[in-house]
Amino acid sequence: MTDLAGASIIVLGATGGLGREFARQLAASGARLTLTGRSMLALDDLDIDGAALIPADLTDAGEAEKVVAAAKNAYGRVDGVIVASGAVAFGPLVDTSDETLEALWAINVLAPMRVLRAAAPALAESAAAGGSPFVVSISGVVAETPTAGIGAYSAVKSAQAAAHQVAARELRRAGIRVLDARPGHTETELSKHPISGERPAFPVGYAPAAVVTRILDAVRADEKDLPSSAFQGLPTAQVV
């Protein structure tokens, strides 16, 4: 079992729908948090006592190292990384612009890979000291079932899943667990603010708090993978 109380955990995209919920639930569990987002104002609005707040655009080279260094400076170690950042675009694949393709790749794939690379030495130190370090990636159900109308997003999330699944095998000997979670549609602001295209008429999605609880339960239980089937039966969101 992995104990989150006192663990030093980095949350990427802490100001997003899932990121905020991770921050709240982890703080309630007694974790020591390093929270990232592009806006310092939005980070302040989280109102998480004692958290290290690091404004960062992780698509920029060097920002990943800055975040990891901030966590080590604040708490002396890094025990976990949760990738709750992301961006979505809608529309046919053949109509997707280069600008959108590049942004989707940079945000959903390149940034998490940079953070994984930057954090790996610190996570290995945590394992060597007797900890149970982990990385959580949330690639989503489209990594299992690429979907028409969100083809570019499906492609980059599939790449995100592949990268973290490979990392899980490569980092196992160092004592680092990499967990990829693939929940179905979850009711956050992400789909309401695409970088291009218009959101289709989705059925009501999962409640964000329920998705985050399921993922953190998996972290505590030392689970190694969370396919879409692991989220079946979760409550849907109350949409007003």
Contact (Cβ atoms closer than 8 angstroms) between residue 160 and residue 212? no
Whether residue 206 lies in the annotated active site = no
Task: Using only the alpha carbons of the chain, give its radius of gyration.
Answer: 17
Give the pTM.
0.96
Give dist(CA 142, CA 144) in Å, integer.
5
E strands along 101-141, which residues? 134-138
Helix axes 17-28, 208-220, angle to 10 degrees: 50
Q: How far is CA 128 from CA 66, 78, 132, 235, in A?
A: 23, 12, 9, 39
For residue 111, name the pLDDT band (cuts at 50, 70, 90): very high
E strands along 142-222, which residues? 177-181
Q: Is the pLDDT of residue 239 over 70?
A: no
Which residues have a Cβ under 8 Å from the Cβ of 199 and sit 6 or more positions away?
A: 90, 191, 192
Structural domains of the chain in order of their starting residue, each with its CATH number: 8-231 (3.40.50.720)
Q: Is the pLDDT of residue 240 over 80?
A: no
What's the one-letter identity of residue 50? G
Annotated catalytic residue, options 22, 134, 153, 206: 153
Looking at residues 36-59, what average pLDDT do you find? 95
Burial of 69 (0-12, 13-18, 19+ CB in 10 A): middle
Helix (H) or strand (E) holding 82: strand 80-83
Give dist(CA 204, CA 201) in Å, integer.
9
Looking at residues 19-24, what average pLDDT do you find? 97
Q: How far is CA 47 from the centre of its chain?
A: 20
pLDDT in tens, 196-228: 998 888 889 999 999 999 999 999 999 999 999
Give dist(CA 99, CA 209) in Å, integer.
33
Give dist(CA 175, CA 193) in Å, integer.
38
pLDDT in tens, 156-195: 999 999 999 999 999 999 999 999 999 999 999 888 889 9
Let me know how long the chain is. 240
